[in-house]
Structure 1
């Protein structure tokens, strides 16, 4: 009988220790997860920003090339819409033929009406002033600009004014609609959703049938529809404030989308499964994306002209170009060698190669 109180005391002490361990383990796990979430959020934000800037840059470069086409400028000056359409569509076909990338471009007259579009010639003369308030920027500035703007459809718009002496003839634009960023992140196991605020629907008339979620319109048509019920269920306003949320075995990250005037017009949402998130934080974010695209880097580079300074040696560059001629039985050895060489490069160097290739791939071929 004398031992029962002592046994009871031992039992209570044991339970107390177990409960404390569970408490501290839960607290510690939460703290680590919370820190990991915010660290991942910062890394994803930086990667997204870099990807968007690269998209703007590549679109602007092509728009600048088109703006130097004297035949296009002459057609615009002479108000020859058929000639403008012929030149634009032929140039875009050439780009598609050499790169398999579909690029849309258009010429806008100084009075803000459509002069020519590369993909059809049925809307020449249509006024754009009510859909493109962003073009008012050029009343005060002569410099080209690339930004995410609403228009009749939300997207990247790289706009370059065309002048003859001091007379404004119009603008050349290259348009992109988030296909590349969506695919880029999807290849890394991250689903990207580009959301425009619903208040712009009266302007974005070509997005009337796009899916809607939580006061936003989904702009990137190549989004993964599987997560739409989840996005409809959560409070996107709360996510916008927190930037980070864990929900139903997924992690969500939300970032503001700004136009050329730095006005918030929507948001970017990234969705990662638990497995993808754990791999992301284990591989320190940027390494995760680099590893995810390293295989693609080896697989996609053919004989495109690339700057020698991007590589540590001529051998490294040549190694990338000979992959198609490697015999089947030697392919595994070749891939091993390629991966070993790529591992010698820093994250920044690999990104430079990827971005350089991504731009060259878009505009390879003669621009007429």
Structure 2
């Protein structure tokens, strides 16, 4: 330890220690910054991928509903009110369509007065009045144009509704319904996990979801590990952004009903192996066109 006996050497040693510690801190923070930037890039990719897949599924559902609403065999059996024949035709077509995309597809046909004509999954249900809680049906009947959305009913699905028109007269509508299993599967192949959350205040409408798992004020709609969402501050998130807990990081965005009411969030999760704390959130831009709300 003779080196430290000299005052100059002690100063030099102190400078070396301080410089080394400073360099260590600089590298530590730069490494964390690089890791954070890489994680945010991954989350941005996850967000973009999820949104694109959702739009792709919505287009798919819309195409199916339009195609089925113009199908002559369906229209003929519908006009004749031959429910058994309609049920058989619809399920045969579903079986064929499932060979094109292995997703859960259901079809519902509605009468002119917005009641149920047939459901592909339940032939016994008929004449159920849907006007009180299915805004999409009302919109299609009024405007006679197809629509697609993530719509709330007894369940929550991607729903596309197209009018049945014969001789310029509105006769009813055909609805293609797709759940979130296909999306979950496609995202899983890319290393992502999907979580579709619905605000619990809508359980008075979504009666079939009452037994689903809950996290704080939200219901988990799709099949996913709800424990991955533990310890997230879901009370203070905005319209879209990034958030993390100790083991997982998430990109998320809001989804809205046809009346622009906020229904819930869609989360896409990835492993947070380095246990980084990410929390960035943003609000959608709300603009008004002809006194109607449009959210960007």
TM (norm. structure 2) is 0.83
Match of 2:285 in 1: none
Alpha-carbon contact 2:102-2:182 (below 8 Å) kept: no
C-alpha distance in 2 between matches for 1:184 and 1:42: 17
Report the counterpart of residue 24 of structure 1 in structure 2. Answer: 26
Q: Which residue of 1 aligns with 2:250?
A: 252
Q: What corresponds to 1:154 in structure 2?
A: 156
After TM superposition, the structure 1 = structure 2 runs for residues 161-310 of structure 1, keeping only pairs within 5 Å, are 161-220=163-222, 222-223=223-224, 225=225, 228-240=226-238, 243-274=241-272
Can you give the 5+ residue segments of structure 2 that lack an aligned partner in the other structure?
A: 277-296
- 1:14 alignment partner in structure 2: 16
> Secondary structure of 2:84's match?
helix
2:228–2:248 CA contact under 8 A, matched in 1: no
> Residues of 2 paired with 1:276 and 1:24: CA distance?
18
Taking a change above 3 Å as real, the CA distance of residues 277 and 63 of structure 1, as seen in their structure-2 partners, is farther
Partner of 2:90: 88
1:176-199 deviations in Å (ceiling 9; x for gaps)? 111111001111221110111112
- Shift in Å, 1:65: 1.5
1:56 matched to 2:49: no
* Cα shift at 1:42: 2.8
- Is contact 2:110–2:118 with CA below 8 Å preserved after alignment? yes
Alpha-carbon distance in structure 2 between the residues aligned to 1:58 and 1:76: 23
Deviation, 1:173, is 0.9
1:295-341, Cα deviation, whole Å (9 max, x unpaired): xxxxxxxxxxxxxxxxxxxxxxxxxxxxxxxxxxxxxxxxxxxxxxx
**Does the residue aligned with 1:236 lie in a helix, a strand or coil?**
coil
1:266-318 CA deviation, whole Å, 9 max, x = no partner?
A: 1111111146999xxxxxxxxxxxxxxxxxxxxxxxxxxxxxxxxxxxxxxxx
1:78 alignment partner, one of 74, 77, 80: 80
SS of 2:114's equivalent?
A: coil
Match of 1:131 in 2: 133
The TM-score, its normalising length taken from structure 1, stands at 0.68
Matches of 1:187 and 1:211, distance apart in 2: 24
More strand by share: 2
Structure 2 CA distance for aligned equivalents of residues 154 and 265 of structure 1: 10
Q: CA deviation at 1:96?
A: 4.0
Q: 1:49 to 1:276 in 2, by over 3 A?
A: farther
1:261 shift after superposition:
4.7
Across the aligned residues of Structure 1 and Structure 2, the Cα RMSD in angstroms comes to 2.6
Distance 2:268 2:25 in 1: 31
Give distance in 2, aligned partners of 1:131 and 1:211: 23
Deviation at 1:72, TM superposition (A): 1.9
Structure 1 CA distance for aligned equivalents of residues 72 and 240 of structure 2? 51
1:21 Cα offset (Å):
1.5
Taking the aligned partners of 1:242 and 1:47, their CA distance within structure 2 comes to 14
Give the equivalent residue in structure 2 for 1:5: 7
1:56-84 CA-partner distances (Å, limit 9, x unpaired)? 11111111221112232233233332232
What is the match of residue 67 of structure 2?
Answer: 65
Judge conservation of contact 1:72–1:84 (CA < 8 Å) in 2: yes
Specify which structure has the higher proportion of helix: 1
Q: Conserved in 2, the CA contact under 8 Å of 1:92 and 1:102?
A: no
SS in 2 for 1:209: coil
